[in-house]
Every structure is written in structure tokens, then in C-alpha cells.
Amino acid sequence: MKAKFSPLQLLDFKLLQTHYEFEVPEVESLDLHELFSSYSVEIDFELGKSEDTEEIQLLTMIEVNLDKDNPQPGYKIMVEGGATFEIKDADSIDEGLKNNLSKFSTLNMVINNLRNIIFQITNLGPMGGYLLPPIDITKLLHDKAESQEEAKG
């Protein structure tokens, strides 16, 4: 099948910051799937639009197993990336689709890029590659909107 390209274009992606640590587990026989599933994952992001162009900027940070109260052994990871997007022919696109592309799709694309970076960082580590589980982008956007409303007042 011939692929149809999205009007959403990723113009640029940069890895801005990484942090990687490994804490040796005390137990020798460890169920890695169970351990990785117990890792806490925090995601924060800031979405902005350029005033002079139609570009969308997205800064996203993912923290894995950095819970200060209950860190698990193994990997401790932080990655931060920034991306710039553009929606081609934005004026001719339905407002609902444009909103979906500018929020949901951009965040999904950046998280996927950071997921790949996390896997690459850990792939040569003692426990093999850590693959970030699927993320509920809708819930993430909802939680971010709620936290911004609470911050306003």
C-alpha cells in the first residue's frame, strides 16, 4: 500500500539531556519483566506555539525509576528532548483534527523518540534493554490540563 503522509511534519528533534545510573540488585535471580514493570514513570511536557510562524514546540522529560521514596534496583533513567513541528496547510484542516495533531500526535511522536533513546541507552547495560511501556497520551494530556488549571487558581 502506498503511504499517505500526515500534514503534521516533524521539523527537528534534539536530545537535550540524559541521566543513566545502574544500581546492582541484591538478588541474583531476578524476574526482569516484573522488576521493569515495577518502575515508576513520570512524564512532564511543555507545549508552545511560535508567534511569528505556525511552528509547534514541544519539550518533554521522562523519568524512569527516580522515585525518591521507593527506587527499585537496576536502571535509573532521565531523558529530555525537544521537538519542532509544523502542520502543512493548517488553514484547510478541520479544527478538531488540527487540535489532535498539535497535541496528541506531537506528544506521542516525542515520547516514541525518547522511548527509543531509553532502549538504546540501556541495551548495553547489565540487564539488557528497558523498553518504556505504552503510555496513555489522552490521560497525560488530561492530567497536564488539570495541573495547569490548579496552578492558575
How far is Cα 95 from Cα 97, in angstroms, rounded to an integer? 6
What pLDDT is recorded for position 71? 85
Q: Domain limits of the chain? A: 8-148
Q: What is the pLDDT of residues 60-74, one digit of tens each?
A: 999 999 988 888 999
Residues in the chain: 153
Per-residue model confidence (pLDDT) at position 37:
94
Residue 86, judged by CB atoms within 10 A of its CB (0-12, 13-18, 19+), counts as: middle
pLDDT for residue 29? 72
Statement: residue 75 has pLDDT above 90: yes
**Sheet bearing 8-23, strands edge to edge:** 8-23, 74-87, 56-64, 41-49
Convert the pLDDT of each residue in 77-119 to its tens digit. 999 999 999 999 888 888 888 889 999 999 999 999 999 999 9
pLDDT of residue 104: 95
Q: Which CATH number, 3.10.420.10, 3.10.28.10, 3.40.50.620, 3.40.190.10, labels domain 8-148?
A: 3.10.420.10
Span 135-150, mean pLDDT? 93
pLDDT, one tens digit per residue, over 12-34 is 999 999 999 999 888 777 899 99
> What pLDDT sits at residue 36?
95
As a whole number of angstroms, the distance between CA 134 and CA 14 comes to 22
Give the amino acid at 146: E
Strand 74-87 vs strand 56-64: parallel, antiparallel, or unpaired? antiparallel
